[in-house]
Amino acid sequence: MEIANRLRELLKNRSGTAIVVLLGGAGLLLILLSSLFPGASPKEEPDQPSAEITAEEYRLSAEARLEEFLGGIEGAGQVKVCLTVGSGQRRVYASEDKVSRSADRTEEERKYVIVGGNSERSALVEKVELPEITGAAVLCTGGGSPVVQERIYKAVTAVLGLPAGRIYVTELKEEYR
Protein backbone atom coordinates (compact mmCIF):
# COMPACT_ATOMS: atom_id res chain seq x y z
CA MET A 1 0.00 0.00 0.00
CA GLU A 2 2.77 2.41 0.91
CA ILE A 3 4.59 1.84 -2.36
CA ALA A 4 1.43 2.50 -4.38
CA ASN A 5 0.87 5.80 -2.53
CA ARG A 6 4.46 6.92 -3.14
CA LEU A 7 4.18 6.04 -6.82
CA ARG A 8 0.98 8.12 -7.13
CA GLU A 9 2.70 11.12 -5.50
CA LEU A 10 5.68 10.72 -7.82
CA LEU A 11 3.46 10.64 -10.91
CA LYS A 12 1.63 13.86 -9.88
CA ASN A 13 4.53 16.10 -10.90
CA ARG A 14 6.36 16.18 -14.25
CA SER A 15 9.79 15.24 -12.99
CA GLY A 16 8.37 12.14 -11.26
CA THR A 17 6.63 11.03 -14.44
CA ALA A 18 9.84 11.48 -16.40
CA ILE A 19 11.77 9.36 -13.87
CA VAL A 20 9.22 6.52 -14.01
CA VAL A 21 9.20 6.54 -17.83
CA LEU A 22 13.02 6.62 -17.90
CA LEU A 23 13.27 3.66 -15.49
CA GLY A 24 10.71 1.69 -17.52
CA GLY A 25 12.65 2.35 -20.73
CA ALA A 26 15.90 1.24 -19.05
CA GLY A 27 14.22 -1.99 -17.94
CA LEU A 28 13.00 -2.71 -21.47
CA LEU A 29 16.47 -2.00 -22.85
CA LEU A 30 18.03 -4.46 -20.39
CA ILE A 31 15.52 -7.15 -21.40
CA LEU A 32 16.33 -6.55 -25.09
CA LEU A 33 20.08 -6.73 -24.45
CA SER A 34 19.79 -9.95 -22.46
CA SER A 35 18.09 -11.68 -25.39
CA LEU A 36 20.99 -10.73 -27.71
CA PHE A 37 23.59 -12.56 -25.64
CA PRO A 38 22.90 -16.33 -25.69
CA GLY A 39 25.46 -17.06 -22.95
CA ALA A 40 23.56 -14.83 -20.54
CA SER A 41 20.32 -16.83 -20.73
CA PRO A 42 19.71 -19.61 -18.20
CA LYS A 43 20.75 -23.07 -19.30
CA GLU A 44 17.85 -25.29 -20.31
CA GLU A 45 17.58 -28.81 -18.93
CA PRO A 46 17.86 -31.49 -21.59
CA ASP A 47 14.74 -33.55 -22.30
CA GLN A 48 16.76 -36.73 -22.65
CA PRO A 49 19.56 -38.23 -20.58
CA SER A 50 22.94 -37.19 -21.94
CA ALA A 51 24.87 -40.24 -20.81
CA GLU A 52 24.23 -43.51 -22.59
CA ILE A 53 25.13 -46.70 -20.77
CA THR A 54 25.88 -49.87 -22.70
CA ALA A 55 24.72 -53.30 -21.61
CA GLU A 56 28.36 -54.25 -20.97
CA GLU A 57 29.01 -51.23 -18.74
CA TYR A 58 25.83 -51.92 -16.81
CA ARG A 59 26.73 -55.61 -16.39
CA LEU A 60 30.24 -54.85 -15.11
CA SER A 61 28.96 -52.24 -12.67
CA ALA A 62 26.23 -54.57 -11.36
CA GLU A 63 28.71 -57.45 -10.99
CA ALA A 64 31.13 -55.30 -8.97
CA ARG A 65 28.36 -54.07 -6.65
CA LEU A 66 26.97 -57.58 -6.19
CA GLU A 67 30.42 -59.05 -5.47
CA GLU A 68 30.97 -56.45 -2.75
CA PHE A 69 27.53 -57.07 -1.30
CA LEU A 70 27.76 -60.88 -1.30
CA GLY A 71 31.25 -60.71 0.21
CA GLY A 72 29.56 -59.43 3.37
CA ILE A 73 27.59 -62.65 3.85
CA GLU A 74 28.95 -64.79 6.65
CA GLY A 75 30.93 -67.72 5.30
CA ALA A 76 30.95 -66.53 1.69
CA GLY A 77 34.61 -65.50 1.65
CA GLN A 78 36.00 -64.33 -1.69
CA VAL A 79 33.22 -63.82 -4.25
CA LYS A 80 33.17 -63.66 -8.06
CA VAL A 81 29.95 -62.89 -9.92
CA CYS A 82 29.00 -63.31 -13.58
CA LEU A 83 25.73 -61.79 -14.77
CA THR A 84 23.94 -62.16 -18.08
CA VAL A 85 21.92 -59.24 -19.40
CA GLY A 86 19.42 -58.80 -22.18
CA SER A 87 19.61 -56.02 -24.73
CA GLY A 88 20.97 -52.53 -23.95
CA GLN A 89 19.05 -49.70 -22.38
CA ARG A 90 15.67 -48.97 -23.88
CA ARG A 91 13.83 -45.68 -24.23
CA VAL A 92 10.09 -45.55 -23.66
CA TYR A 93 8.50 -42.60 -25.46
CA ALA A 94 5.49 -40.67 -24.18
CA SER A 95 2.39 -41.27 -26.26
CA GLU A 96 -1.28 -40.54 -26.37
CA ASP A 97 -3.40 -43.61 -27.01
CA LYS A 98 -6.98 -43.65 -28.30
CA VAL A 99 -9.10 -46.79 -28.30
CA SER A 100 -12.40 -46.91 -30.18
CA ARG A 101 -14.66 -49.90 -29.70
CA SER A 102 -17.72 -50.84 -31.64
CA ALA A 103 -19.78 -54.02 -31.63
CA ASP A 104 -17.61 -55.90 -34.11
CA ARG A 105 -14.17 -54.23 -33.99
CA THR A 106 -11.66 -52.29 -31.91
CA GLU A 107 -9.41 -49.54 -33.28
CA GLU A 108 -6.29 -48.33 -31.52
CA GLU A 109 -4.44 -45.15 -32.40
CA ARG A 110 -1.13 -44.10 -30.85
CA LYS A 111 0.41 -40.66 -31.29
CA TYR A 112 3.84 -39.90 -29.85
CA VAL A 113 4.38 -36.63 -27.98
CA ILE A 114 6.77 -34.42 -29.98
CA VAL A 115 8.76 -31.61 -28.36
CA GLY A 116 11.14 -28.96 -29.66
CA GLY A 117 11.23 -26.23 -32.28
CA ASN A 118 11.04 -26.37 -36.06
CA SER A 119 14.38 -28.01 -36.85
CA GLU A 120 14.98 -29.80 -33.54
CA ARG A 121 11.85 -31.87 -33.03
CA SER A 122 12.05 -35.17 -31.21
CA ALA A 123 9.83 -37.58 -29.33
CA LEU A 124 9.51 -37.01 -25.58
CA VAL A 125 11.30 -39.70 -23.57
CA GLU A 126 9.04 -40.86 -20.74
CA LYS A 127 11.62 -43.15 -19.14
CA VAL A 128 14.85 -45.00 -19.86
CA GLU A 129 14.90 -48.65 -18.85
CA LEU A 130 18.21 -50.25 -17.91
CA PRO A 131 19.15 -53.61 -19.43
CA GLU A 132 17.38 -56.58 -17.84
CA ILE A 133 19.52 -59.00 -15.84
CA THR A 134 18.50 -62.52 -16.91
CA GLY A 135 20.85 -64.79 -14.96
CA ALA A 136 23.61 -64.95 -12.32
CA ALA A 137 26.46 -67.30 -11.49
CA VAL A 138 28.19 -66.85 -8.13
CA LEU A 139 31.52 -68.45 -7.23
CA CYS A 140 32.67 -68.09 -3.63
CA THR A 141 35.15 -69.78 -1.35
CA GLY A 142 32.34 -70.83 1.00
CA GLY A 143 30.13 -72.03 -1.86
CA GLY A 144 30.64 -75.71 -0.92
CA SER A 145 28.51 -75.24 2.19
CA PRO A 146 24.74 -75.68 1.73
CA VAL A 147 24.10 -73.01 4.38
CA VAL A 148 26.21 -70.43 2.51
CA GLN A 149 24.66 -71.45 -0.81
CA GLU A 150 21.18 -70.86 0.59
CA ARG A 151 22.19 -67.43 1.91
CA ILE A 152 23.65 -66.49 -1.49
CA TYR A 153 20.53 -67.73 -3.35
CA LYS A 154 18.25 -65.69 -1.08
CA ALA A 155 20.42 -62.57 -1.35
CA VAL A 156 20.70 -62.68 -5.14
CA THR A 157 16.96 -63.37 -5.49
CA ALA A 158 16.16 -60.40 -3.26
CA VAL A 159 18.61 -58.00 -4.90
CA LEU A 160 18.08 -58.87 -8.56
CA GLY A 161 14.53 -60.23 -8.47
CA LEU A 162 15.62 -63.39 -10.28
CA PRO A 163 14.00 -66.76 -9.61
CA ALA A 164 16.31 -69.35 -8.01
CA GLY A 165 16.32 -71.33 -11.27
CA ARG A 166 18.29 -68.52 -12.95
CA ILE A 167 20.97 -68.41 -10.24
CA TYR A 168 23.89 -70.80 -9.85
CA VAL A 169 26.10 -70.88 -6.74
CA THR A 170 29.22 -73.03 -6.39
CA GLU A 171 32.58 -73.13 -4.68
CA LEU A 172 35.45 -71.06 -6.08
CA LYS A 173 38.34 -73.22 -7.26
CA GLU A 174 41.71 -72.79 -5.54
CA GLU A 175 43.47 -71.47 -8.69
CA TYR A 176 40.98 -68.56 -9.11
CA ARG A 177 41.51 -67.23 -5.59
Q: So where are the chain's domains? A: 2-40, 46-89+130-177, 91-126
168 DSSP β-pair partners: 137
Q: In 3D, which of 27, 160, 16, 12 has the Cα closest to residue 82? A: 160
- pTM (predicted TM-score): 0.54
pLDDT band with cut points at 50, 70 and 90 for residue 42: very low
Using one digit for the tens of pLDDT, what is the confidence trace for 73-113? 999 999 999 999 887 667 777 878 888 888 888 888 888 77
Q: Of the candidates 170, 163, 177, 166, which has an alpha carbon nearest to the alpha carbon of residue 148?
A: 170
Tally Cβ neighbours within 10 Å of residue 20. Answer: 12
Provide the pLDDT for residue 135. 94
Tell me, which fold does domain 46-89+130-177 have in CATH? GMP Synthetase; Chain A, domain 3 (3.30.300)
